Amino acid sequence: MEELKKKYGKNQQKLQQETMKLYKEAGINPLGCLWPMLIQLPIWIALYQSIMQALASTPENLLNLSQHLYSWVAVGQAVPLNEQFLWLQLSQPDRNLILAILVGGTMWVQQKMVTPPATDPRQRSMTQMTTMMMPLMFGMFTLSFPSGLALYWVVSNIIGIVIQYFVAGGWGYLRAPSAPKPGPDGKAVPVRKLPQSQQESPTIKKASKQKKDLYKR
């Protein structure tokens, strides 16, 4: 990549063509970083449908199970019908935007912690778009999905952030500078690297290796 930038730094169109040619020869898919997120979408949709079909807007419908499985007393004890948590009505969407902001914010932080800055302009643009698009999309989903599902997203994101912070030894790439942009001469401006403790983190090395393996597929 550095040789291509030195050779075609002043011709962005030619640089992009040669970069894509290099990706093709190396078996790297520039859109490979999107696959892990796209794989999760059917899981979220299935989870949402299962909650909606089971609870709908009236959790009392679960008591109809007593006609097929157990007595009313057993079902009533096994299935809690209290759908109130803090200010949330768990079977209804949260219209206060608080939960939507929490979902989008925590997801953005978690993605920034594990996403290394890209040096290629095309890849950098895709990474920035993905990092912003997914939190915004899930934040919009929160406005129409039951708040119980959105609360699960928030808790899951926070747990992921805490695990990443303690396992990787810090905030990872969240505090890293953005990727260098080419200067007037076509050369990238050097940026500060991550602390040594984070560079040598086994978790980050393992994640990078898995990402490379995913690209090669």
Q: pLDDT 10s per residue in the chain (217 long)? A: 666 667 766 666 777 777 777 767 766 665 555 666 677 778 777 777 766 666 655 566 666 655 655 565 665 566 556 666 777 777 777 778 888 889 888 888 888 877 777 667 777 777 777 778 888 888 888 888 887 788 888 888 888 888 888 877 777 777 655 545 555 554 554 544 545 444 445 555 555 565 555 545 5
What is residue 200's predicted lDDT score, i.e. its pLDDT? 46
Residues near 112 by beta carbon (within 8 Å), at least 6 away in sequence: 131, 172, 173, 174
Q: Using CA atoms, how far apart are residues 217 and 212, in angstroms rounded to an integer?
A: 9
Q: Is residue 68 part of a domain?
A: no
> Is the Cα dihedral 163, 90, 146, 50 positive or negative?
positive
Q: Which two tokens stand for residue 16?
A: 């992009």
Q: Is residue 62 part of a domain?
A: no
Q: Which secondary-structure segment (H or E) carries 163?
A: helix 147-168
What is residue 198's predicted lDDT score, i.e. its pLDDT? 47
Q: Is residue 182 part of a domain?
A: yes
Q: Using CA atoms, how far apart are residues 65 and 57, in angstroms rounded to an integer?
A: 17
- What is the extent of the structural domain holding 202? 2-56+91-216
Total count of domains within the chain: 1
Q: Is residue 67 part of a domain?
A: no
Q: Is residue 197 part of a domain?
A: yes
Helix then strand then coil, % of the chain, to nearest 5 = 65, 5, 30
Q: Using CA atoms, how far apart are residues 137 and 177, in angstroms rounded to an integer?
A: 25
What is residue 115's predicted lDDT score, i.e. its pLDDT? 75
Q: Is residue 78 part of a domain?
A: no
> Is the Cα dihedral 151, 152, 157, 163 positive or negative?
positive
Q: How far is CA 163 from CA 61, 110, 156, in A?
A: 38, 10, 11
Q: Is residue 120 part of a domain?
A: yes
Q: Which two tokens stand for residue 148?
A: 């119980």
Q: Is residue 81 part of a domain?
A: no
